[in-house]
Amino acid sequence: MRKKIAAANWKMNKTFQEGTNLINEILGADIHLDNNQQVVFSVPFPYLMPIQEQIGGRSNFFVAAQNCHHKTSGAFTGETSVDMIASMGVQFCVVGHSERREYFAESNATIAEKVNLCLSKNITPIFCCGEPLAIREDEIQNDFVAVQLDESLFHLDQDAIQKVVIAYEPIWAIGTGKTASADQAQEMHAHLRSVLASKYGKDIANNISILYGGSVKGSNANELFSQPDVDGGLVGGASLVASEFIQIITALK
């Protein structure tokens, strides 16, 4: 049974005090998670260790780094290596987010290196893929995301690919208030799973969690997560509000 995941991506938001208060509110809701359900807080680097300690080993709650460098070490001032992340016991890392691709010119090849490094340290990569508005308007989004998978993930063997979580981000729906309809989300998630199946077979494709990452809110989470190929969400703005994110967590199927 593949994991159902509510992943919060705080991006560059929240002071440390605000962040710990947010975590306390969410943990205070005393949410019951089934064995196949996980909550992941992708927080700014300075907060990784203290928030991991705040979670206190609570079952099925985790922290994630928002990025990692594609080299193991070196003269890269301001960067953070996978070894550093692993040394704190962090078990997840977001790679290839659309903002990293756009603002920092990360290529599919660079993201492949990050995926490899994460897996080498038993860190689960949350691999982001998705199309900008122009690609969607030209109706070539299926080919676009297939290339992202091919160039960043398809070098992995059958065991390794099942250790990756995929997050589909329609870039035109991130931070814009626009949201792909549940049918649009399901259509793309089913396509991604079919692309995985063409490479690795249906059984393996059906074992990989695919999250939706476009303006998930408490009000639409139930409908989105009820789709057969949508396994949760990578949540931006709504994850910064305790009541919203609690709704999203409880919408996990």
pLDDT at 148 over 80: yes
Residue of 69, 97, 189, 244 marked active site: 97
Q: How confident is the model at residue 30 (pLDDT cuts 50, 70, 90)?
A: confident
CB environment 135-171: b (16+ within 10 A), e (fewer)? bbeeeebeeebbebbeebbeebeeeebbebbbbbbbb
**What was the pLDDT predicted at 176?**
66
Least Cα distance to 171 among 152, 190, 193, 148 occurs for 148
For residue range 105-118, list pLDDT tens digits in order: 999 999 999 999 99
Least Cα distance to 32 among 2, 65, 61, 72 occurs for 61
Fold of 4-250: TIM Barrel (3.20.20)
pLDDT at 155 over 80: yes
User: What pTM does this model have?
Assistant: 0.96
Q: How confident is the model at residue 251 (pLDDT cuts 50, 70, 90)?
A: very high
pLDDT at 84 over 80: yes
Mean per-residue pLDDT, 88-92: 97
Mean per-residue pLDDT, 187-197: 98
97 belongs to the catalytic site = yes
Three-state secondary structure readout of 118-185 = HHHCCCEEEEEECCCHHHHHCCCHHHHHHHHHHHHCCCCCHHHHCCCEEEECCHHHCCCCCCCCHHHH
Q: Whole-angstrom Cα distance, residue 194 to residue 187?
A: 11
For residue range 207-241, list pLDDT tens digits in order: 999 999 988 999 999 999 999 999 999 999 999 99
pLDDT at 93 over 90: yes
137 belongs to the catalytic site = no
Q: How confident is the model at residue 137 (pLDDT cuts 50, 70, 90)?
A: confident
pLDDT at 175 over 80: no
Question: Residues 99, 11: contact at Cβ < 8 Å?
Answer: yes
Token pair for 45:
């680097």
Which of 173-187, 204-218, 235-249 is least confident? 173-187
For residue range 59-79, list pLDDT tens digits in order: 999 999 999 999 999 999 999
From residue 183, give the alpha-carbon distance in Å to each of 104, 189, 225, 230, 248. Answer: 32, 10, 11, 10, 18
Find where tokens 């065991």 sit: 159
Residue of 99, 106, 131, 169 marked active site: 169
